[in-house]
Structure 1
């Protein structure tokens, strides 16, 4: 379901945005989709937007998948140089420092979970000088952020690791294709409670474009704007995903999972078999 970009423009203009907007969240939160959606929103205001891939946690599900498409839309995309962009190691482009001094906004995609915030440590002083907002995207149905206490703990751990302060939350509660309006509103209540406890603003409530109108009606008494989150990232096993064909080959993604002792299905919303996607 296509989204009218005028809606993105209206939503993004509700706030004043600093030079650098860093977005993070637990694995499965949807934080990379939010980087792309916010970047598209900023672009509707004629703002020059640079997107930096600083995901040192999950190299098989990140901005690197969609670099060509983003560049065709007029974004400048910063990734690690050469084949290092596909390495399962903490490599972040030094051009982030350059982007902090260049015109326009800088969107930074940070790896999932608190440890992903380590990518910001090397740029801490420059980011503070330039002005920043560190946003935590929360899916209330992920085990790392399923209570107010766990959300607060993740914020504090991120701040300790990167030396920056979380400045806002986004509620992006979902169960993939099993998401309902009730899923979104239930998650919103939890994230709103966490935001109030920490004294942080809740910028948006995310929902799918298909559920957007019903979600707006369900949250009509609330003051938080609803954002129809368009999906641009593909899961590693979905047709068209960079991990399914081409380089890196499918076996390379499988190798990474095996070396980590992980299953490629473990980072999904709870209780959703892969055949339902």
Structure 2
């Protein structure tokens, strides 16, 4: 699973599952490399399901988390952190940018346009596709969101992540139906599908590959506050309190 590019930018429609993928990816990567991976929380859209909410869990895994802290933790406006530019310049680490949903969430990327220009051949910008979300139920709607994100961020998407789900109501059939829409987008754009995301409980229904695409199995980590303790243990999530105090 070791990436061949040192920077992953994860984008997609609001509610597509970007942060769940991002947190699972960086968590799994932390067990496979001696280099400390870094996740940068750039989500200015969703006040709950952001990678910064899992900071304690990730840091226990040896992941560096770059995110607003203290009184800025829940700010709604983009906060340009010097640490972000520092992470982008560091050629010795792997960095994952967890970006907010839709074009509005991707707007913050334009603040780092100069940094991306310098590393244009060293990053992947991956679009997370969930065919069970409003406006992305078909290829046409999904392509509009994708193009809007490209225009706003001033960056080009380089690949796709198939992540169709309905949270607790997900079934293997729903995942497979959504994959067909992501495949159609891939055919229309020429963009490769990097991963098909599947919850670990469905492993027996898929195996390691599906129609030539590598499976990426996840655990459900990003949960509502009332479910987090039962899922990952008390103290691993720090919603709206001391974990972000300076």
Under a length normalisation based on structure 2, what TM-score does the superposition of the two structures give? Answer: 0.87
Taking structure 1 as reference, are residues 139 and 246 closer, same or farther at Cα in structure 2, changes over 3 Å only? closer
Residue aligned with 1:206, SS? strand
Note the C-alpha offset of 1:237.
4.1
Note the C-alpha offset of 1:170.
0.5
Give the counterpart of 2:75 among 78, 87, 90. 87
Q: 1-side partners of 2:127 and 2:182: how far apart?
A: 11
Give the aligned partner of residue 158 of structure 1: 149
Is 2:139–2:182's contact at 8 Å kept on the other side of the alignment? yes
Give the counterpart of 1:136 among 104, 127, 135. 127
Q: 1-side partners of 2:191 and 2:240: how far apart?
A: 40
Give the aligned partner of residue 196 of structure 1: 187
Give the aligned partner of residue 95 of structure 2: 106
Give the counterpart of 2:46 among 50, 54, 58. 58
1:118 maps onto 2:117 in alignment: no
Note the C-alpha offset of 1:216.
3.0
Give the counterpart of 1:248 among 216, 240, 246. 240
Give the aligned partner of residue 182 of structure 1: 173
Is 2:27–2:61's contact at 8 Å kept on the other side of the alignment? no
1:234 maps onto 2:223 in alignment: yes
Give the aligned partner of residue 9 of structure 2: 22
Q: Which has the higher contact order (CA 8 A, sep 6+)?
A: 2
Taking structure 1 as reference, are residues 21 and 246 closer, same or farther at Cα in structure 2, changes over 3 Å only? closer
Q: 1-side partners of 2:182 and 2:171: how far apart?
A: 17
- Within a 5 Å distance, the mapping from 1:258-277 to structure 2 comes to none
- Deviation string, structure 1 residues 179-223 (Cα, Å, up to 9, x no partner): 111111110011111111011000111111010220238x65x10
Note the C-alpha offset of 1:152.
1.0
Residue aligned with 2:108, SS? helix
Residue aligned with 1:140, SS? coil
Runs of 4+ residues deviating >6 angstroms: none
Note the C-alpha offset of 1:96.
0.7
Q: 1-side partners of 2:158 and 2:225: how far apart?
A: 31
Give the aligned partner of residue 213 of structure 2: 224
Q: 2-side partners of 1:179 and 1:246: how far apart?
A: 27
